Structure formats: C-alpha cells, structure tokens
A and B are shown apart, each in its own frame.
Chain A
Amino acid sequence: MLREAFGRPDNHRILMKRTFREMNIIGIESLGIVFMVSLFMGMVLTLEIAYQLVSAWVPDTAIGEIVSDTTMLELSPTITCLVLAGRVGSNIAAELGNMKISEQIDAMNIMGVNAASYLIMPKIVASIIVIPMLIIVSNALSITGGLFIGHITGFCSSFDFIQGAQSTFETFTLVFSLIKAFTFALIISTISSYQGFIVTGGAIEVGRASTRAVVQSSVLILFFDYLLAQLLL
C-alpha cells in the first residue's frame, strides 16, 4: 500500500492542493485540543514539581529547568501525539474506511486514478509537516502554562522560571522533540491510512478499524518513544 501511495502521482497540482487541505484538517483543526492539552500539561507539571521540590535547599530556578526540559523531551511530543492519534488517526481511518465500503476507492481505481496516492500520500505528507509544527506550539504553550501557574501560585517568579529554562536549554533538546514528532506523525498517518484502506464489510468494521488505528498508533508511539530515548539520549 505504501509503495502505491508513494508511486508517481497522477496530477501534481491536485496532490499539492490535497496536501494543503489535509494540513488544514490535521494541523489547524487540531490547534484547539493541542492548546488545551499543552497549557494544562505545563500547569500541572509545575504544580507537581513545586510540590516535590520547593525547599530552601533547591534553587528557585529548578522548576523552570525541569518543566522546560521535561516538556520538550517527553511530555509535549508524546502526550500531544497520543491525543493526535485519537483525533487525527481515527478521522483518517474512518474517512478511508467509509470510502472503501461505499466503493469510492474502487471508483477511483476504475477511472485509472491511483487511489492510494491520491488519498494517502497527502495525509502522510501533511502529517509529517504539520505535526512537528504543532509540537513546537505545544512546547511553547506548555512552558508558558508552567510559567503562568508558577507565578500566580508564588512557587517561583517568572524571572526565576525563565532563567531556569534558559540555563539548561540545548538545541538538541528541541531537535530531539522534533525527531519524535516526525516519527510519531509517520506512525499515526501510515497506521491509520492502512487500517482505513483495508476495511471490508460495513459500518461496524469501519468503527473497528478506527479503534485499531488509535490503539496500534498509541502502542507504537510508546514503543518508539522508548526506542528513540534509548538510541539518541
């Protein structure tokens, strides 16, 4: 299926158009949920770190250091992509599954159009472009959430938080975050497209494919989360 999906497109202009459409669906339409998840993630993380670490022996900058590093290395890419596996993955599997059972994919094939390339390639390309962008937004929002809650609860001043975050920042941390985002984007889009594309039967099977897409994507995200940490850190 992937070989067909990345075969020579029938029409490059249409492919571009469809990729932008998918970028809108996967990226812009996911901004709301990414915003909510990231902001609360940063806020909760700050409170929990403060609960464990605030004492006379720990420098005031520690919360900022830990929140920013943990956010970029682990929480933003992993949690956000798990949420996106639910939102985007189920959407892709259900859309393709419905097209499959209503013979729309057969109709494309009969018209001499490579359905896998027309339908799947834009989703994969759009995912690997916009999901890393969403992760950058998520990193920023999560750290901002932490900064905000640290300031209003009085656990750490904004100055200390920012100083802490800046003192431990390394470019590789952000690169690692983006490598994860890219890998997870590939997992979500390919697994979900595959599950949607192989559906046979009716509405119940489409529902099942959608669930399988989310479960398999989530498990693979967790597995690759471990693998990438083991290999790159």
Chain B
Amino acid sequence: MIEVRELYKSFEDKDAIKNISCLFEEGIINMVIGSSGSGKTVLLKCIVGLLRPDKGKIYYDHQDFTAMGYFEMKRLRQKIGMLFQGSALFNSQTVFENISFPLVMHTSMSKAEIRKRVEYCLERVNLDKKVADLYPQELSGGMQKRVGIARAIANNPKYIFYDEPNSGLDPKTSRVIDALIKEISHEMKTTTIVNSHDMTSVFDIADHVYFIYEGQLWWNGKPSEIMHSANAELIQMINAAGKHE
C-alpha cells in the first residue's frame, strides 16, 4: 500500500502538482489518468523518489519514504519495479543482461538460478527464450515493453509502477500489454500504479482511477462510476477518447 499525503511539487514558478492525497491499495490496479501535462508523471516520479516533493508525505506500507535516508531508500527501492514510458532498457546490454540486472546487483543467486529466473520472466511476458540474446534495439516497441515488464518483475517486487505503458504502441499490442499488467498485478499481489491517458485501458484493467487535472486530484473512484461522475473535465476527456460506454 502506498499513501500520498498533501503532495506539492513546482518547477520554478509553475506548480506541477498541488495538494494531492491518495491511497494506492495493494492487489488492485490503481490507474492515474489525465491529459498530457496534467502532472501524472511528476506525481509518479515523486512517489518513486526521482523527484523530491516540495511539501507532503509519501508512505510505503506506513514507512515515511520522504524522510528516508539514502541507504534506507536504496533498500526499499530493491522492492520496486518500474516500466518506463520509453522502456529505458540498457541498450549496451542484451535482453538477458537487462532482466538479470537487478538479480545480479542485489541477490546472491547463482548463474543457473539467474538464468532460470530470467527464462521464467520471459515466459511470463510471453516472449521466447531466444529473445534473451538479442539487444533492445533489435526488438519491436511491444517486445521492448514486455522486456521492460520482465525486468520490472525479475526481483519479485512489492510495488510496480508503469508510466504510460501503451505509449507508442498500436491498439492491438496495447491490449496485450494491458492484459499482461492485469495478470501480473493480480498474480503477484503487488501495489500497482499505472499512469495512462489511454481510456480503453482505464475501462479494461483499472480497479481504481485517480483523475488529475492541472496538477490537482479532481476525481477518484471505480471505472464504473466514471460516467456517473459530475466532473466535466473527466467526461470531456472520455468523450475526446471516444469511449462512452
């Protein structure tokens, strides 16, 4: 479970996020939605510690993340997996080296155990073992995302973050990635936060939705409640995406 309390972050004079409070439960898919520039990525970067918030608190299972020291934060981060918008795979390393990276760095697993775990992760994201020897630039966008997910789950994380998992993918591949996120989150019982502006994903896989508009949390609730909400901006966003049902 991750709790965000009264979070503020600004860049120079511009407020990126203002007074955001939310509770991301474990075992479900928490989806943060909003149009481009609404502040979703800033919120996610604050939650994972890539940005330091100006004000407010973040709790990982009641541990104050914002008050953690360097080594404490490092230990916690070993329980975090993240899929970046552009996958962020290490392009000088093979797929095998990418997926095994957190295992090599943080565990004392033998080479055989690491290979087994990498093969399991590849299988879990529906990729062939042969892909392991390829470099990220030899893969399609959808395959890169899957390798990114495989790397994110390699170390059995407790918290998984997905930043725009469907960006740059065709609708069919997007649904495959969505299905994968749903399966993995429910199977691993992780605290999952997905940043997206893809409304199809919202209705397909989200269990709880947080709508951010101009840096503020405007609405939160279940996807089924969205159409009944009185929030004009949210309805406008859904209409613009062409999803009415």
Contact of A107 with B74 in the complex, beta carbons under 8 Å: no
Contact of A102 with B77 in the complex, beta carbons under 8 Å: no
CA distance A103 to B50 in the complex (A): 11
CA distance A107 to B85 in the complex (A): 11
Contact of B84 with A106 in the complex, beta carbons under 8 Å: yes
In the complex, the chain B residue whose C-beta lies closest to that of A95 is B92
Given contacts A11-B104, A14-B105, A104-B90, contact A112 B74 (CB under 8 A): yes
Binding site for A on B (CB under 8 A): 48-50, 74-78, 80, 82, 84-86, 88-92, 101-102, 104-106, 155
> Which of B50, B78, B105 gathers the greatest number of chain A CB atoms within 10 Å?
B105
CA distance A11 to B108 in the complex (A): 10
**Cβ contact of B77, chosen from A103, A104, A109, cutoff 8 A:** A109
In the complex, the chain A residue whose C-beta lies closest to that of B48 is A110
In the complex, what residues of A have CB within 8 A of residue B78's CB?
111-112
Chain A interface: which size bin?
10 to 19
Report B77 CB to chain A, min CB distance, Å.
4
Contact of B105 with A10 in the complex, beta carbons under 8 Å: yes
CA distance A103 to B82 in the complex (A): 11
CA distance A113 to B155 in the complex (A): 13
CA distance A21 to B48 in the complex (A): 31
Question: Does A211 lie at the interface of the complex (its beta carbon under 8 Å from any beta carbon of B)?
Answer: no
A-B contact pairs, 22 of them (CB 8 A): A11-B104, A14-B105, A99-B90, A102-B86, A102-B91, A106-B84, A107-B84, A107-B88, A107-B90, A110-B50, A110-B82, A111-B80, A111-B101, A111-B105, A111-B106, A111-B155, A112-B75, A112-B76, A113-B101, A113-B105, A113-B106, A114-B74
Would you give the 0/1 interface string for A94-137, flagging 1 where the beta carbon is closer than 8 Å to chain B?
01000100111011011111100000000000000000000000
In the complex, the chain B residue whose C-beta lies closest to that of A9 is B105
Main secondary structure of the interface of B (DSSP, over half): mixed
Contact of A10 with B106 in the complex, beta carbons under 8 Å: yes
Contact of B102 with A111 in the complex, beta carbons under 8 Å: yes
Contact of B104 with A111 in the complex, beta carbons under 8 Å: no
Q: Which of A57-82 contact B (CB under 8 A)?
A: none
Contact of A112 with B86 in the complex, beta carbons under 8 Å: no
Contact of B88 with A112 in the complex, beta carbons under 8 Å: no
CA distance A114 to B75 in the complex (A): 11
Report A119 CB to chain B, min CB distance, Å.
10
In the complex, the chain B residue whose C-beta lies closest to that of A21 is B92
CA distance A10 to B105 in the complex (A): 6
Report B162 CB to chain A, min CB distance, Å.
12
In the complex, the chain B residue whose C-beta lies closest to that of A114 is B74
In the complex, the chain A residue whose C-beta lies closest to that of B82 is A110
Contact of A112 with B77 in the complex, beta carbons under 8 Å: yes
CA distance A111 to B74 in the complex (A): 8
Report A109 CB to chain B, min CB distance, Å.
7
Report B39 CB to chain A, min CB distance, Å.
18
Report B137 CB to chain A, min CB distance, Å.
11
Report A94 CB to chain B, min CB distance, Å.
12
CA distance A138 to B48 in the complex (A): 48
Please give 4 more A-B residue pairs, beta carbons under 8 A apart, in addition to A106-B84, A110-B82, A113-B105. A110-B50, A112-B74, A112-B105, A112-B106
CA distance A106 to B50 in the complex (A): 7
CA distance A11 to B74 in the complex (A): 14
Report A146 CB to chain B, min CB distance, Å.
40
In the complex, the chain B residue whose C-beta lies closest to that of A107 is B88
In the complex, what residues of B have CB within 8 A of residue A10's CB?
105-106
